[in-house]
Amino acid sequence: MPALDQYFELMLSEKASDLHLSVGYPPMLRLKGDLVPHGKIPVDEKRMRALLDELIVDDETRAAFHRERDLDFAYSLPDGKGGFKARFRCNYLYKHTGPGAVFRTIPSKILSAEELGLPAQIIELAKRRSGLFMVTGPTGSGKSTTLAAMLSWINHNREGHILTIEDPVEFVHQPARCLITHREVGIDVPSFADAIRSAGRENADVILVGELRGPETMRLALQLASYGVQIFATVHTNSAAATIDRFINVFPAGQQPAIRGMLGESLGGIIAQQLLKRADGSGRIAAHEILIGNTAVSTCIRENRTSMINSLIQSSAREGMQGMDATLDTLVREGKITAQDALDKALDKNSFAKQPHIQSQLDMPIE
């Protein structure tokens, strides 16, 4: 049994979302959003190398990590009965102190949208049969969990072929009403671009792209969406408007008008997600901004007026759209998060802080 298994067991028992290992520091667990040390004994470089190398099963991959100084893979913790207790996303890296790693728990059970408390509009987006749907947010905001719930709804509610392209594969979906194909970049296929390029020949109805990386991957995903395939993907941005700008600005200026036209035609929706601590300390809660593709959104994108997207979201609540700051405000009013935590995540911090009920909480003395 790899020595790291004891830390994975600890993560499960403590319900930690992440484990950080760095030379010169004790193991650090992320508990309810906070990074806290486990014990006081720092891990030295010799111990670190032994821990990390033991988890890599082949010499070639081990040598590649120490040469390229970066490695991503998934690990399944055995349950002693031929199955596994949980899976973990593993990122090996080098820093100035030496090798280190970050491990994230991948829940063994795929939670439904209802269990996650996702807004009903998110499942309405999953019900669409074509288009590009992007889930955005910072690392650790729960993008993969939201996408897994959307794919699970499709898997249990209609027939079709779901193809996932990830590095590494995180949530493993079991077939319900759909055929499921998981492809791992670097193992099953050389690159995201190669996988997306061949996806059109694999007769997939729904395709999950773990992350849109670079213009080639983005163009291929957009082309498939324009052909009537339902594409889900993640992007590291913090709002719908920023996601659109990031997508378009990846391309050279001469190509951007055509990309705007394709994106305006094919965009199904954008979900921007943030995770915040619950006010009562019981865990974390997600706040969502939701943009739904429609004629007005398409026009804004084609005509390079993405500055109007936030106003469009605010004026389209009847269609199911919701802004991040409005969502944060609702969570504060309901007592689910603190005003200070909401302000930290707000997009327009000045306007958010000037609201009387927010200002009154920020001005309250700390007892």
One domain, residues 275 and 294: yes
Owning domain of residue 26: 5-106
Residue 332, pLDDT score: 96
| 329 assigned to some structural domain | no
Q: Indicate the pTM of the whole model.
A: 0.86
Residue 364, pLDDT score: 54
Residue 362, pLDDT score: 87
Residue 365, pLDDT score: 46
Give residue for tokens 């958010």: 352
Residue 79, pLDDT score: 85
One domain, residues 127 and 96: no
Are the CB atoms for 241 and 305 separated by under 8 Å?
no
For the packed helices 214-226 and 256-266, what is the interaxial angle rounded to 10 degrees? 40
Residue 17, pLDDT score: 92
| 245 assigned to some structural domain | yes
Query: What Cα–Cα distance (Å) separates residue 69 from each residue in 52, 73, 191, 224, 270?
Result: 12, 14, 19, 34, 33
| Number of domains present in the structure of the chain | 2
Domain final residue, candidates 72, 91, 106? 106
One domain, residues 205 and 279: yes
The per-residue pLDDT string of the chain (367 residues; one tens digit each, 9 = 90 and over) reads 899 999 999 999 999 999 999 999 999 999 988 899 999 999 999 999 999 999 998 899 999 999 999 999 999 998 888 778 889 999 999 999 999 999 999 877 899 999 999 999 999 999 999 999 999 999 889 999 999 999 999 999 999 999 999 988 989 999 999 999 999 998 899 999 999 999 888 999 999 998 888 899 999 999 999 999 999 999 999 999 999 999 999 999 999 999 999 999 999 999 999 999 999 988 899 999 999 999 999 999 999 999 999 999 999 999 999 999 999 999 999 999 999 999 999 999 999 999 999 999 886 544 4
| 354 assigned to some structural domain | no
Round to whole Å and give the CA distance between 71 and 62: 9
One domain, residues 123 and 67: no
Domain final residue, candidates 106, 122, 145? 106
Round to whole Å and give the CA distance between 239 and 131: 19
One domain, residues 42 and 178: no
One domain, residues 84 and 233: no
* Three state DSSP letters for the chain: CCCCHHHHHHHHHHCCCEEEECECCCCEEEECCEEEECCCCCECHHHHHHHHHHHCCCHHHHHHHHHHCEEEEEEEEECCCCCEEEEEEEEEEEECCEEEEEEEEECCCCCCHHHHCCCHHHHHHHHCCCEEEEEECCCCCCHHHHHHHHHHHHHHHCCEEEEEEECCCCCCCCCCCEEEEEEEECCCECCHHHHHHHHCCCCCCEEEECCCCHHHHHHHHHHHHHCCCEEEEEECCCCHHHHHHHHHHCCCHHHHHHHHHHHHHHEEEEEEEEEEECCCCCCEEEEEEEEECCHHHHHHHHCCCHHHHHHHHHCCHHHCCECHHHHHHHHHHCCCCCHHHHHHHCCCHHHHHCCHHHHHHHCCCCC
- Kindly give the pairing relationship between strand 98-106 and strand 84-95: antiparallel
Residue 201, pLDDT score: 87
One domain, residues 219 and 196: yes
One domain, residues 149 and 220: yes
Residue 366, pLDDT score: 44
Round to whole Å and give the CA distance between 106 and 295: 37
One domain, residues 194 and 272: yes
Residue 118, pLDDT score: 95
Are the CB atoms for 11 and 29 separated by under 8 Å?
yes
One domain, residues 271 and 153: yes
Six-digit token pair at 145? 């969990």
One domain, residues 226 and 291: yes
Residue 33, pLDDT score: 84
Which domain CATH number covers 38? 3.30.450.90
Q: Is the peptide bond before 168 cis (omega within 30 degrees of 0)?
A: yes
φ, ψ of residue 351 to 5 degrees: the values are -65, -40
